Structure 1
Amino acid sequence: MIEYIKRMPNLLYFLFNFFSYKRLNIRAVVFFSNRVQGKKYITIGRNSVVQRGSWLLALKIDEYEPILSIGENCAIGDYAHITSIRKVIFQNNVLLANNVYVSDNLHGYDDISIAIKDQPIKFKKEVVLQSGCWIGENVCIIGASVGKNSIVGANSVVTNDIEDYCIAVGSPAKVIKRYDFLTKSWNPVNKNY
């Protein structure tokens, strides 16, 4: 009975929103306080949680149908902002800390006679957060992918792909460690780390 009561808000969300999403698993948790736009392009898998105050946006701006897909067992922290105009994919077991921004696009700024807010949104590159990766607090990922079991440190800005089994930090994010399967340890890329 206690388990049923704990799941009640989630079941209500599911019942009110199931037909709006491309796919919403009954065991996913999306809090009512979240802002979700373009649900018909959004998939959220089993046992994934999208915490409070997050904004999921799948925006159709041209002939392409956007994809925003969150796999199974993902944990999306409070106040995440995830935007897709083409493709943003979270594979299984992705962990996002609070206040993370993930986007496959950016605002145009080519015409200096027009305010940036009035210029078109431009696709940069598809984003794939591969299985098991961990994205730290306040990270921005714009048009870049993060490899399997990789870590992006807090306050980093990722604009280039990060390979599997790496630790990256900074603005712009740079790889500082790689996992070595022979020694079973995280080894610094250079001697400063």
Structure 2
Amino acid sequence: MKTTLLSFAALLSLSATYAQTTWKADKAHSRVGFTVTHLMLSEVDGNFKTFDAKLTATKPDLSDLVVDLTADVNTINTESDYRDNDLKSEKFFDVAKFPSLTFKSTSFQKVEGKKYKLMGNLTMHGVTKPIALDAVLTGPVVMENPRGKQEKAGLKISGTIKRSDFAVGTIPVAVVSDEVELKANGEFVKQDAAMAEKK
């Protein structure tokens, strides 16, 4: 009987250790953006104003995290209405047919220290392709604020893709670079179990 109780306790302990946690992006302190080169001279930055991002993990240090991100392409912002409307048109993103882009990670491998290699599938303009990104994970840490204690983590992601791989625009690379630098920064808040279930 004693052995059975000990085995049950050990099982409960393992279950607690590997319970999945969910972390939601604090959008006031997060950004999903990109950079392209214009006329081989200058860089143009842009971002998506509306997006959802979450992390899930079973390890307390988040070293096995999974990233889920969805961005509303119709909210693309490059600080130029003319350019934004052009990017939304069928010449580029064609938001009428493909209103969102998504990224779902497939692996998260430590390189050294806080640096990781993030692999996953990016779906954009109706095309899904695997991509490799560099990531820096900070935390998690417990923060004190007026709402009480919150456990938070920071994730910075960067990498380069080719827009031609996703059939985004046929404009010559001398005008707009084929290579697009992706840049995302997120501050994530751990959700309690009840909240995570509702979402």
Instruction: Give your verdict on TM over 0.5.
Output: no
Determine which structure has more spread, i.e. the larger CA radius of gyration: 2
Structure 1 length normalisation: TM-score? 0.24
Structure 2 length normalisation: TM-score? 0.24
**Higher helix fraction: Structure 1 or Structure 2?**
2
